Amino acid sequence: MGKYEIQHAITQVIENGGKAFVPYIMAGDGGLSQLKEQLLFLQEAGATVVELGIPFSDPVADGPTIEEAGQRALKNGTTLRGVLKELASFRNEINIPIVLMTYINPIYKYGLDTFFAHCEQSGVDGLIIPDVPLEQRDLIQDELEKTNIALIQLVTLTSPIERIEKLAEASEGFLYAVTVTGITGARSAVSEKLESFIFTLKKHSKVPVLAGFGISTPDQVKEIAAFGDGVIVGSRIVDLLHKGKREEIQKLIDASSSVHYS
């Protein structure tokens, strides 16, 4: 497993004529004992990769839905160490790549060397760390290089072309195109700039380009997936999973498979 598994999984979907779908869920929302069943459900439903959030007390990139899920998970006693231990116990039953989304503070508290070693042991394929910008990658680079784990970069609508080029060059697994200016959360409209933004990213990126933040309906999945290589859906998935509306999650995933690669 590792960075190449993420890219391979996305490429395979594209070669089969579809687009990738990456759901985000909050580890420990509903109890950590539910994690295995939640991941198996998403795998069966057709998810390409799963982004697994770690609850944190100060989630600067997250909107209210994910923040509330994080608070529920923290109240359940969920910790980064606990998530990795739980994941390790059943990882061989999950066939799709898993990307961990966390912040630098929990990693530092864990201990860099131990964290990366436990990530590999738990079958983590990639990492998203929103509060470690490219300029501060050196904070984790030495330990990261000892693993086969991808560090996925986020690039925003406001990024200048020079920065887009650097982020596209550095990103592993896929490049995360942030579709809104602001925090995560469902939006009713899609930015008019988005198509040209994703086109620019695809021109510079050596890895697939996936769009996320603010995608909440099957129609938005279809519209945005048509621009790039796939979509990431977080807040809407978290909300539907919490409310037990799994058929709605299936509709979102199915929407991505109905978009043909162009």
Q: Determine the length of the chain.
A: 262
* Catalytic machinery residues: 51, 62
For residues 60 and 131, is the Cβ–Cβ distance under 8 A?
Answer: yes
Is residue 262 situated within a structural domain? no
3-state helix, strand, coil in the chain (%, to 5): 50, 15, 35
116 domain-assigned: yes
Q: For residues 181, 69, 94 and 8, what is the CA-based torsion angle, rounded to 10 degrees? A: 0
CA triple 159-165-169, angle to 5 deg: 125
**DSSP-based three-state secondary structure for 70:** helix
Question: Would you place residue 1 in the very low, low, confident or very high pLDDT band (cuts 50, 70, 90)?
Answer: low
Contact (Cβ atoms closer than 8 angstroms) between residue 38 and residue 250? no
Q: Does 41 fall in a domain?
A: yes
CA distance 177 to 171: 11
pLDDT at residue 257, as a whole number: 84
239 φ, ψ (degrees, to nearest 5): -65, -45
Residue at 45 is within a domain = yes
Residue 35 in tokens: 């994690």
Give residue 145's domain range. Answer: 3-257
Q: Establish if 196 belongs to a structural domain.
A: yes
pLDDT band, residue 186 (cuts 50/70/90): very low
The C-alpha atoms of residue 86 and residue 207 are separated, in whole angstroms, by 30
Residue 183: predicted pLDDT? 47
What is the domain count for the chain?
1
Q: Is the pLDDT of residue 258 over 90?
A: no
pLDDT in tens, 101-134: 999 999 999 999 999 999 999 999 999 999 999 9
Q: What secondary structure letter does DSSP report for 185?
A: -
Q: How far apart are CA 183 and CA 194, in angstroms?
A: 16
- The total of other beta-carbon atoms located within 10 Å of residue 173's CB is 29
The percentage of the chain sitting over the pLDDT mark of 90, rounded to a whole number, equals 84
* Closest residue by Cα to residue 129 from 47, 54, 49: 54
Please give the DSSP secondary-structure letter assigned to residue 49: S
Say yes or no to pLDDT of 196 above 70. yes
Q: What is the pLDDT of residues 140-170, one digit of tens each?
A: 999 999 999 999 999 998 899 999 999 999 9
- Return the bridge partners of 50, or none: 98
Q: For residue 154, is it within any domain?
A: yes
* CATH number (domain holding residue 191): 3.20.20.70
In a domain, 35, yes or no: yes
